[in-house]
Amino acid sequence: MTTGRLMITTAAIALSACAAGPARAAEGLRVPVGFTATLFAEGVDNARHMVVRPNGDLLLTINDGEGGVMLLRDTDGDGKADAERPKIGNWAATGILLDGDILYVAQDTKVLRYTLGADSLPTGDPVEIVAGFPQESQHGTKSIALDGKGGLYVAVGAPANACQVEDRTPGSPGKDPCPLLETYGGVWRFDAAKTGQTPADGTRVVTGARNLVAITWNQDQAMLYGAGHGRDQLHELWPKLYTEKQSAELPAEEFHAFPEGANMGWPYTYWDPQARVRRIGPEYGGDGKKTAEPGKYQDPLWAFPAHWAPNDILFYKAAQFPALYRGGAFIAFHGSWNRMPFPQQGYRIVYLPMSGGRVTGQPINFAISTDTKPVMSPGETQFRPNGLAVGPDGSLYISDDLKGRIWKVTYTGH
């Protein structure tokens, strides 16, 4: 699956959604003219993914040891979440989905299902849909998606950079075949209604995906979409083959539509956004120039700059935003950590115009930090987004796990 336009650079993304004027800044966040960003909640450290109920209640996963799911609601109508914030569970969580009154929550090792009452709190104990994923210190979080037909999709990251014999060790070759791909590095489909499943009960629908934190089901296209974290440290591990600059710009963060059986090519390959080709990884005999076998691995729909770390995707279908923003994908980029000695990049929400499941225009910087100096490490930025959700009025909610904030973006037209 290919398109004619597969690459952008950091400088190529338009900052404004239209030619109406400069972007508007508000307390650390810039959004396009016509939009307003307000703080819905603060003090929510380690905020990850979110869902919003029809009554406006927001449920947010907290990725720390006792985080669980936090309930944020605005009972007095002042536009901010109440001080009282009930919690569900006391474990780290990432993925979260809502299907009517049914709430799915993903921990590193399992996916739970709750039935919610009118107060947005569980009416009883959770049931385990899938349990038994290994507890991994690297890429252990689980993102989930529902297809509306009974399928629950779970992204399982691979606990490695490039499946080397000795992980992240200079010159160490890759394992061939990579044994991690048997149980990691892809997406598995489970029965959303069935309890007591194990990872072995799933059907693998995507492989060769190092760490797909951002996945979602596109109901209009009846297909899974996702954006993955590419491999790291090309120069550190292979200094004779890659310069520091090349390591900062390679490989691309790939955005895909996933027909069943799709293969993104990790760890054997990576996507070169400058040349717009898939190259063989150095652990598998690549030299920065060798290209992969044509047709063996899927090409991306779009290739974003290296190391931006996509963490969530949302297809916007509400009526509040202008027509330009309907049907395409908002993507939350958590931002890079390994572009040194060059400034870090990412830390933004990008909107990718789409129609019929295909990319139709250049990406737009929809929400970006008001950083005035180059960001040399992730902790220096004013905005590090994680999750996305749409409220009943069409407003876009954005979680920030660094500053502990939930932003609400609305279209005001002025």
Q: What does the pLDDT read at residue 65?
A: 86
Helix (H) or strand (E) holding 235: helix 234-237
At residue 209, the 3 state secondary structure works out as: coil
Q: Tell me whether the omega of the peptide bond preceding residue 122 falls within 30 degrees of 0, making it cis.
A: no
- CA proximity to 398, closest of 28, 22, 143, 101: 28
Answer yes or no: are the C-beta atoms of 385 and 366 closer than 8 Å.
no
Q: What is the largest CA-CA distance in the chain?
A: 62
Angle at 90 between CA 88 and CA 93, to 5 degrees: 80
Output the pTM of the full model: 0.94
Answer yes or no: are the C-beta atoms of 115 and 123 closer than 8 Å.
yes
Per-residue pLDDT of the chain (414 residues; tens, 9 = 90+): 433 334 444 333 433 333 334 566 566 799 999 999 999 999 999 999 999 999 999 999 999 988 999 999 999 999 999 999 999 999 999 999 999 999 999 999 999 999 999 999 999 999 999 999 999 989 999 999 999 999 999 999 999 999 999 999 999 999 999 999 999 999 999 999 999 999 999 999 999 999 999 999 999 999 999 999 999 999 999 999 999 999 999 999 999 999 999 999 999 999 999 999 999 999 999 999 999 999 999 999 999 999 999 999 999 999 999 999 999 999 999 999 999 999 999 999 999 999 999 999 999 999 999 888 999 999 999 999 999 999 999 999 999 999 999 999 999 986
Alpha carbon dihedral 102, 108, 109, 110, in 10-degree steps, equals 0
User: How many other CB atoms are found less than 10 A from the CB of residue 302?
Assistant: 25
Exposure string over 156-192, b if 16+ CB within 10 A, otherwise e: bbbbbbbbbeeeeeeeeebbeebebbebbbbbbbbeb
User: How many other CB atoms are found less than 10 A from the CB of residue 295?
Assistant: 7
Give me the domains of the chain, ranges plus CATH numbers: 10-22+38-318 (2.120.10.30)
- CA proximity to 130, closest of 155, 158, 157, 100: 155
- CA proximity to 93, closest of 154, 51, 143: 143
Structure tokens of 82?
A: 């109440």
